[in-house]
Structure 1
């Protein structure tokens, strides 16, 4: 890892890095296709925003958002946009791999820092609570406002989007393997996020403890702490205090099993078995309905 490599990365990748300004919560992004950029979903505040591209401000429009992987896709307006940066297609990022983090925090100027992968790709929960596999932890320091900027390899290909700053200065990036196909789908105007039930959950251990505290038999399942008004779960009749024990007859004892069942659902309806007090009920959730 040499100063000349950093300079090359800045020259090759830097022009495609954008800064998010008005209409956003700030942050960075990167152009990945002609007129198309990506950033973190959490950076977005409005459907229309202004981004900094090089020395000029451009209008941008949110084409799609997938909160399950913290991804937002933007369509940029105006001519003569920089050349897009390619996604990496291999899954060979390992401890010690050479990487470079780029950002344009709030559109205030390009930052490029070298580093190495400090932890083998692993699973980490995203903002929506779903497990994101293959996250990359690295040592390239970044200032505030860098979230959504690209993490690239020595060839200038995107291996991830920088997402989380850890104590001690380490940074976590969501991996290209999870983002790239979703970004293409969102850019076409199609949705990528799986259906939402619209509930807040309590894990199985706490659910057993809470039921025991009110004199009910402890059971394995997910306790419904809250139901979003008008959501699919609400329309199906799911209520606060219910315990989800199965979906389509498959036992559900932890959130990841529930998410997997929703991801795998191919029909427009799913059957959710719940325990309400001492009664067992089966409720039909219409996945074809808007959440």
Structure 2
């Protein structure tokens, strides 16, 4: 036996010796079986509450698809979803047992035809019977005689608290019957509308709201309607934790008027106010009147605007019905609460002199 063969046999013997002390485990070939399901415990109180809200109210939430002529509208509700939802889709909800549906004005603005898709999958046509651009609200009427799902219970937005739970149901990106939750993160926000006015006392929430949620309900933990989702603040166009809703107290005032007459009066006194930034630069607290509408209530009451010939400052409105007026929203809020056909008591400052004036409130929307 030569040296090479001897070394080879020695290596094989060493390997055999090493393997003799090792342990190897092999899984026998068996038929795979499903694992046993472990039963979960009871839902938490918060989970039970959210589930109950969704199951109770979601049938009354509808998808709204608006078309201008034969082409889908190109408003802010985002691209078509994977399921083929039209790019104009928004959300609405049943308002009453007469088949009225509430949504946002910007969802149906300029629409020639509107279709509704219910939670059951049924699709029906609807008619726009009233719009209020100043509040971004619209009312539709279901086109056929079907019995609509029951309306929501109404809450109040007057007693809302920052930190309380909020739930939104809608159709983000055309994905219907989606529910998100969060809290009310701020109150008394102001939200500009396409009509050039502002909605006051707007609710801010961090419940996820995305394009397609517009016009859907914002609910409290009792499942009551507390607002109508209307906008998001987002540089990217998607949820960034800041959403807004029209408070239900405004909705409950505006919607019945839209059902009755198709429009909502725009109460005013016939003034054009200076930009708030100008008042701040001048150190003035109040509403600076730039000009008054010819023969309007403010002009008839003796209110003056800026004197263009001399450059003299116009009158400054500092109080309305004994409430301080620091900005235009303070004045418009008070005027809207009083309503057209009545009068408002103003304190008007001209130079160093102040005087009290009773000014009639009219529906300035009829002259527009």
Task: Decide which of 220, 224, 232 is 1:165's aligned counterpart.
Answer: 232
- 1:111 equivalent to 2:178? Answer yes
Change beyond 3 A, Cα 1:287–1:104: same
Deviation at 1:141, TM superposition (A): 0.8
Distance 1:257 1:92 in 2: 20
Higher-RCO chain (CA-CA 8 Å, sequence separation at least 6): 1
Aligned ranges for residues 273-284 of structure 1 at < 5 Å? none
Change beyond 3 A, Cα 1:233–1:268: farther
The alignment of Structure 1 onto Structure 2 pairs a total of residues equal to 266
1:245 maps to 315
1:176 maps to 248
1:21 maps to 65
Change beyond 3 A, Cα 1:28–1:235: farther
Gaps of at least 5 residues in structure 2 are 1-44, 68-72, 76-87, 235-239, 351-358
CA deviation digits over 1:140-188, x for unaligned, max 9?
1122111111011222211111122134322121211221122122222
Task: Decide which of 66, 77, 90 is 2:132's aligned counterpart.
Answer: 66
Change beyond 3 A, Cα 1:32–1:129: same
Change beyond 3 A, Cα 1:62–1:113: same
Deviation at 1:111, TM superposition (A): 0.8
Deviation at 1:285, TM superposition (A): 9.9
- Confirm or deny: 8 A CA contact 1:151 1:161 kept in the other structure: yes
Deviation at 1:86, TM superposition (A): 2.0
Change beyond 3 A, Cα 1:80–1:161: same
Distance 1:123 1:140 in 2: 16
Distance 2:245 2:287 in 1: 34
Aligned ranges for residues 1-40 of structure 1 at < 5 Å? 2-23=46-67, 25=75, 26=88, 27-34=90-97, 35-40=99-104
- 1:151 equivalent to 2:218? Answer yes
- 1:130 equivalent to 2:198? Answer yes
1:215 maps to none
Distance 1:165 1:125 in 2: 10
Deviation at 1:108, TM superposition (A): 4.1
**SS across alignment from 2:95:** strand
- 1:256 equivalent to 2:329? Answer yes
CA deviation digits over 1:240-278, x for unaligned, max 9?
99676378x9898842365357544755999xx9x9xxx
Distance 2:288 2:273 in 1: 10
- Confirm or deny: 8 A CA contact 2:157 2:227 kept in the other structure: no
Greater CA radius of gyration, 1 or 2? Answer: 2
Task: Decide which of 175, 180, 193 is 2:265's aligned counterpart.
Answer: 193
1:142 maps to 209
- Confirm or deny: 8 A CA contact 2:268 2:363 kept in the other structure: no
- Confirm or deny: 8 A CA contact 1:39 1:71 kept in the other structure: yes
Deviation at 1:80, TM superposition (A): 3.0
Distance 1:70 1:87 in 2: 19
Deviation at 1:129, TM superposition (A): 3.0
Q: Kindly indicate which of the two structures has a greater share of residues assigned to strand.
A: 1
Distance 2:307 2:169 in 1: 46
TM-score by length of 2: 0.58
Gaps of at least 5 residues in structure 1 are 211-218, 225-231, 276-283
> Which segment drifts farther, 28-37 or 105-114?
105-114
2:15 maps to none
